[in-house]
Amino acid sequence: MKNFVEELKWRGMLAQIMPGTEELLQKQMVTAYLGTDPTADSLHIGHLCGIMMLRHLQQCGHKPIILVGGATGMIGDPSGKSQERNLLDAETLYHNQECIKKQVAKFLDFDAEGENAAEMVNNYDWMKDFTFLDFARTVGKHITVNYMMAKDSVQQRLNGTARDGLSFTEFTYQLLQGYDFLHLYQAKNCQLQLGGNDQWGNMTTGTELIRRTLGSETEAYALTCPLITKADGKKFGKTESGNIWLDRNRTTPYAFYQFWLNVSDDDAEKYIKIFTSLDKETIDALVEEHKKDPGYRILQKRLAEEVTVMCHSKEDLETAKEASNILFGKSTKDSLLKLDEQTLLDVFAGVPHYEIAKADIIGKAAIELLTTDAPVFPSKGEMRKLTQGGGVSINKEKLSDPNTVITEADLLDGKYLLAQQGKKKYFLIIAK
């Protein structure tokens, strides 16, 4: 059996581990779980380190459980948060859970033969009929307030570093998470909880609850991965436009691919270990090759390819590469026509945009449109000169006559026109 802890160590994915965890993992197949609250209908790449831990766990022969916090998602976790999160209703939580299940299935094998097939559980199933009196008797009596108060996540919210204090609801979160571990320990023989390092306090509460409830000889452990940051110290997974989501409707495969392609050299070396299943020999060889010619961005390219295929598909990767070539390489009108609207906007997000009434585009000569309505060219004379030299294109097709009339058929998705000046200057005209 492959050593899971060693696998995490060389990948830079191990932060804290309880004594005895590695010995247990080497002795037998272990069932381990990781929890995520369904606060949105998609995971984002900030969740990926935890999901990859489960993936590596399964590849090492152990059984992964992904717990969707239908119950705890109704409350909110104070860990790493400066203010209380909004509470979600049952319908929204169920929708989010189903979406997350589909995404996680791309990383874990739920149909594996043998005992280590992945499972998904929802803590709402065992919490929905759990009364407050049950909770007070079964959980509350085993854990002291002193113990709970000592946790860093609680302290930060109480000592004034956070703006709005800590509600009783949130204070109980660590007990609810602890009860999840106790329930899974009893129902599924789950002996290990995985999570991000900000969860360490909640996770150790779980192991403590198991010991105090079932006896000190019980074996329950916790293991965390570090919180991933970028080389400049900023939070990983955040861009100026917000989160990078796994859902293609929130983040297109093209934008997803571009995110990984554009990480720094230092980050690429770190991320390729964490976010792919490539073995050590392959990664070491890629790092060496990258160092010989960093400008070729071997690491970034391989990282972007692996993660895009894993989260989306090979077809999506090819589309993303083709879309990238539209800006930076040779491509044709056919390549443009293949793009859906959102990908088109993502590809040309950084080029000048001109919004013009559709009636002012259709039936107008290109020379009028591109000098008067959208000042792509400073003058008609300059546009004529560039057109003669083959330096003007519309929708990736060279314009032979500046007086060519724009028709409805020229509009991409019925509303976009791509003008090009020379090889690299693009302008997007949007019909309103």
Catalytic machinery residues: 39, 44, 47, 81, 85, 177, 198, 235, 238-239
Beta bridge mates, 365: 405
Whole-angstrom distance, CA of residue 56 vs CA of residue 30: 13
In one-letter notation, the amino acid at residue 156 is Q
Q: CA dihedral in degrees (245, 247, 251, 256; nearest 10)?
A: 70
Residues near 179 by beta carbon (within 8 Å), at least 6 away in sequence:
127, 135, 138, 139, 206, 209
Q: How many CA atoms lie within 13 A of 395 on its CB side?
A: 20
Backbone angles phi, psi at 242, to 5 degrees: 115, -160
β strands within 135-291, DSSP E? 190-196, 221-225, 238-239, 242-243
Long-range CB contact pairs, 404-409, < 8 A, 24+? 404/365, 404/366, 405/363, 405/364, 405/365, 405/366, 406/361, 406/362, 406/363, 406/364, 406/365, 406/366, 406/369, 407/362, 407/363, 408/362
The answer to whether 22 and 1 have CB atoms below 8 angstroms apart is: no
